[in-house]
Structures are given as C-alpha cells and as structure tokens.
Amino acid sequence: MLWTLFFAVNELLPSDGPPLTLQEWLALMLFPIGVCAGLLLVWRREVLGGILSLAFLGSFYFWELLRPYHPPENTRLILEAFFLLVAAPSLLALVGGLLRDRNAVSAARAVSK
C-alpha cells in the first residue's frame, strides 16, 4: 500500500518522464489500490472484503485484456502469478467467512430445534 502511495505522489510531482495516461491510472486504481482496499476490509468483514478484492482483480484482468499492449509471454506469466499470489488471501478469507457463516447458521438451527 505504501508503494502505491509513493508511486502516486511521485507521478503528481514534476518529473523527466512522460506522465501516466488515464488508462494507466485506471489500471492502478483496479489492481493495487482496489485489491489492497479489499484486503484491508477483510480484517473487519471477511466475505465483503474477499468479494471486493476479487472483483477488483477480475476487473483488472478484464481491463488488461482490452488494452492494445500486451507484455511478452514470459513476463505476462510472471505478472499473472504475482497478481494471483497477492489476491490469494482474499480468496481464503472469502471461503473462510462463508464456511464460518454457514456453521453459524447450522448452529442456530440446531439450538432453535
């Protein structure tokens, strides 16, 4: 998260290189910022945070498919593995939250009988 903040502040300051395009800013909002926001929400609400994080990751993949530039095959495989590893905790939180909620409903039904 700090890396993303550093990157955004660096882009807002004057520099020698070309500024980021609107497409690149949108991609940054989807992957690091959106996925990290979902992962932060996982601490309070597991299911909602997991869904949000995975939705941002899926949106990022869809957005990358629409872009005209595609990295070389070996670089793309490494990047995809990295993105999936970063989002893996959100999948685990989603599954854990759903199982916990299901067990809580089963326990409530058993108590009410």
What is the extent of the structural domain holding 26?
21-112
On whether residue 9 sits in a domain, the answer given is no
On whether residue 2 sits in a domain, the answer given is no
On whether residue 93 sits in a domain, the answer given is yes
Own/partner long-range contacts of 53-56 (Cβ < 8 Å, ≥24 apart): 53/87, 53/90, 54/87, 54/90, 54/91, 54/94, 56/30, 56/31
Per-residue confidence in pLDDT tens, the chain, 113 aa = 566 667 667 666 766 777 778 888 888 888 888 888 999 999 999 999 999 999 999 998 888 888 777 777 777 778 878 888 888 999 999 999 999 888 777 777 777 76
Number of structural domains in the chain: 1
The pTM (predicted TM-score) of the whole model is 0.74
On whether residue 103 sits in a domain, the answer given is yes
